[in-house]
Amino acid sequence: MGSLIDRLLDTGIIEKLTSKLIGAKVRLGSAKFTPLSGRVSFKDIVVANPRGYHAPYILRFRRAEVVLDPLSLLSKKIVLREAHIHDAEAVYETSRGESNFSAILKSIDRVLGAKPARGRNALDMVRYEIDEFVIQGGRIRLCARLLPGKEVTLRVPPIALKGLGKEGPGVTGQEVAALIIRHIVGEWLKAILPGFGKS
């Protein structure tokens, strides 16, 4: 169990896998596991802007907490009872008719659509179930390029997802990250661009 947790919380591995998925550098400040409570705490998760955009980052989560079922570490599917992100911030920027939000969505689609590489890391085979995922305290800063001479910050309502990977064998870490980021970006785009996602 110990070696698995060590690998799951290896900041270098997390940064590498998520950076490849998003198409921009991801930096994780720290990760700490408390065995008795099953609580995992992350601090200062920063997603750099994709190439071609100028703000220092597109997403920043100052604190995230996950409560897992310790016994599930012995099974084929790791169960996360709760996953909460606090004080989340995004920077929305446009360039040449596109946005940094759309850039990371395109990267996710490209990576998930590619054929699996040979000799994949063992962590690629780990499956997850997330019973509850919540983002609280979210806000979006609109880049000055979008609104010259103005600094606008939008407060966004909490985001909640339930039952990710509950049915069947669960979802991979890459699939979890893709589902969450797609949902966050989609919901926050609705706050910026009323009518986004409506048919």
Confidence class for position 176, pLDDT limits 50, 70, 90: confident
pTM over 0.85: no
**Can you give the pLDDT at residue 81?**
95
Identify whether 74 is part of a domain.
Answer: yes
Identify whether 103 is part of a domain.
Answer: yes
What mean pLDDT is predicted for residues 99-107?
A: 90
Torsion angles phi and psi, residue 5, rounded to 5: -60, -45
Q: What percent of the chain has pLDDT over 90?
A: 28
Distance CA 192, CA 199 (A): 17
Identify whether 71 is part of a domain.
Answer: yes
Identify whether 98 is part of a domain.
Answer: yes
Range of the domain at 45: 2-192
Domains of the chain: total: 1
Give SS3 for 21: helix
Residue 58 makes CB contacts below 8 A (sequence gap 6+) with 24, 47, 48, 49, 50, 90, 91, 93, 100, 101, 104
Confidence class for position 43, pLDDT limits 50, 70, 90: very high
Identify whether 152 is part of a domain.
Answer: yes
- Which phi-psi region, left, alpha or beta, contains residue 184 (left: φ > 0; alpha: ψ -120 to 50)? alpha
pLDDT surpasses 90 at 31: no
